[in-house]
Amino acid sequence: MKKLLYLLSVGLVLSSLALVGCGDDGGDGPTIQEQQLTAIVGTWSTKDGDGGVTQNDADAPGDWASTTFTFAAGQNNAGSYTISGQPTDDITVFNDGGGNFTIAGTTAENFQLVFSGGGTVDVKVNSATEIELSTTIEQDQVIGGRTQSINGPWKFVLTK
């Protein structure tokens, strides 16, 4: 009986030590919102060649080769952006200045940027070095961040 009690005591002590050694693994990974911000932060250029910028599923009018989008992270699932180098031939989809945005969505690969002046752009993360921005501009629509709207769906394939 003493031997059984001794073995039981030793077993409890070893089990306790094993459980104490199973501490926290350092916390959870980044949240979805943190992953979304991380995915877009940086300076992006329009993809070279056909398909870099499309309107109505065809190459967009104008020369978009020098267009850059810069996104910076802020706090509370938000950030700021600047856009420069859009074609100067009356094809301005976004305001060249910039502004602020918040992020909406529940996945790290597909989410929306909601601009502070109004308007939403869908974001698809293809890789760490390629994202797609998509939006549809309705007839006579001029909403936050966009001027001289060009009607129809637009897609921007951006690379780092």
Q: How many CB atoms lie within 10 A of CB 152?
A: 16
Alpha carbons 43 and 116: distance in angstroms, whole number:
20
Tens digit of each residue's pLDDT (9 = 90 or more) over 18-46: 555 555 555 689 999 999 999 999 999 99
pTM (2 decimals)? 0.75
- Per-residue pLDDT at 13 exceeds 80: no
For residues 133-137, average pLDDT = 91
pLDDT at residue 86, rounded to an integer: 83
Contact yes or no for 142/136 (Cβ under 8 A): no
Alpha carbons 97 and 12: distance in angstroms, whole number:
67
Strand ranges (DSSP E) for the chain?
42-46, 53-55, 58-59, 68-73, 78-84, 98-104, 110-115, 120-127, 130-137, 152-159
Let me know how long the chain is.
160
Alpha carbons 22 and 97: distance in angstroms, whole number:
52
Mean pLDDT, the chain, whole residue set: 81
Tens digit of each residue's pLDDT (9 = 90 or more) over 66-100: 889 999 999 888 999 999 888 866 666 776 678 99
DSSP structure class, residue 47: P
Give the pLDDT band (50/70/90) at residue 64: confident
CA geometry: angle at 127 spanning 123 and 133, to 5°? 20
Give the pLDDT band (50/70/90) at residue 143: very low
pLDDT at residue 98, rounded to an integer: 86
pLDDT at residue 91, rounded to an integer: 66
Task: Give me the phi and psi of 36, to 5 degrees please.
Answer: -65, -50
- Domains of the chain, by residue range, sit at 32-159
pLDDT at residue 76, rounded to an integer: 87
**Class of the domain covering 32-159:** mainly beta
